[in-house]
Amino acid sequence: MADIGFIGLGRMGSRMGGRLIDAGHTLTVCDVSEAAVGELVKRGAKRAKTAAEVANAAELVFASLPSPNVVHDTVLGANGVINGTKVKTFVDLSTTGPRVATIVHDALAKKGIASLDAPVSGGIKGAAEGTLAVMVSGPRAAYDKYESVLKIFGKLFFMGDKPGLGQTMKLANNLIAAAAIAITSEGMAMGMKAGIDPKLMIDVLNVSSGMNTATRDKWPRSVLPRTFNFGFATALSFKDARLCLDEAEAMGVPMVVGTAVRQMLSITNNVYGPDSDFTIMAKLVESWAGLDPDKK
């Protein structure tokens, strides 16, 4: 069993960290939330005050953080991973985009520290159950060394040796997922305005060519019951869409539909707040359609 560090114990990180403990690994953890740290300490984790302290205690350090800037500062700042004395491999499970992944990789490489970007998809449920899709890129030797540990989180996909390929894959995935919500919201609102029962619509769509991740999973679990609690914050989805379009523009890839999806997420974020669930986009479209969005 390995001595592992974990930085960032939010809704995803706390569950992934818990899985590492359950697998028998010694875990040193750090987070801005004392309560989040305390929960894993109760389960046997060791407490660290800074990212550098985590990197002093473990050869393998994971991070699950909310934004590129936070990742950059956590890894390369004065109290960052880069200043740790024991760390040999850093794995970023966050969604940061390929540019930050490359910057982190290059800076850590100068210190002899391997870096893997390994963003994940599958939500809170997948993090808890170990069924995430893990999109990994970076040095193959580092991936091979810790493949068995990464498998604790879910199904692995090695995207290539080039830093940032995992991030590019994740950004494309998240934009497509948000697009499915956006177009399903519009189609559902049209049917509901005409008088079709929304559950019946979902039943039809899920055996028809309109079936997608939103109709198959998000509507039954979060929209139809009007809970809007699928488990992914609007602000995070909006951040991912912005990152994706920024990267696409830099690469010369047109994203006409993606631009509309980003705008939908921006409006949803402004109307319902950054902590709302991204499935609440359906409620926004219903209100625009003149439907009663609070009717169950």
pLDDT at residue 2, rounded to an integer:
72
Q: How far apart are CA 213 and CA 295, in angstroms?
A: 24
Residue 133, token pair as written in the block: 């899709």
**Per-residue model confidence (pLDDT) at position 3:** 87
User: What class has domain 168-288?
Assistant: mainly alpha
Condensed to tens digits (0 to 9), the pLDDT of residues 141-159 reads 999 999 999 999 999 999 9
SS (H, E, C) 172-196: HHHHHHHHHHHHHHHHHHHHHHHCC
Grade residue 1 by pLDDT with cuts at 50, 70 and 90: low
Asked whether residue 296 carries a pLDDT value surpassing 70, the answer given is: no
Distance from C-alpha of 254 to C-alpha of 106, rounded to nearest angstrom: 28
For 55-88, the DSSP string reads HHH-SEEEE--SSHHHHHHHHHSTTSGGG-SS--
For residue 292, pLDDT over 90 is answered with: no
- Catalytic residue positions, numbered: 170
pLDDT at 201: 98
The CATH number of 3-161 is 3.40.50.720
Q: What interhelical angle do 165-194 and 198-205 show, nearest 10? A: 130
Average pLDDT, the chain: 96
Give pLDDT, residue 293: 75
| Mean pLDDT computed over 26-32 | 96
pLDDT digits (tens, 9 = 90+) for 213-225: 999 999 999 999 9
Mean pLDDT of 221-243: 96
Q: What is the pLDDT of residue 224?
A: 97
- CA-based nearest residue to 72, from 31, 101, 32, 50: 101
| Banded pLDDT at 259 (limits 50, 70, 90) | very high
Name the DSSP letter for residue 145: H
| 110 pLDDT above the threshold of 90 | yes
Q: Tell me, what's the pLDDT at 144?
A: 97
Whether residue 192 has pLDDT greater than 90:
yes
Is 29:9 a contact under the CB 8 Å cutoff?
yes
C-alpha torsion 4→10→16→18, nearest 10: 80
Q: Burial of 188 by CB count in 10 Å (0-12 exposed, 13-18 middle, 19+ buried)?
A: buried
For the chain, what are the domain ranges?
3-161, 168-288
65 contact partners, CB below 8 Å, separation of at least 6: 7, 8, 13, 71, 74, 92, 94, 96
User: In the numeric block, which tokens belong to residue 207?
Assistant: 């055996």
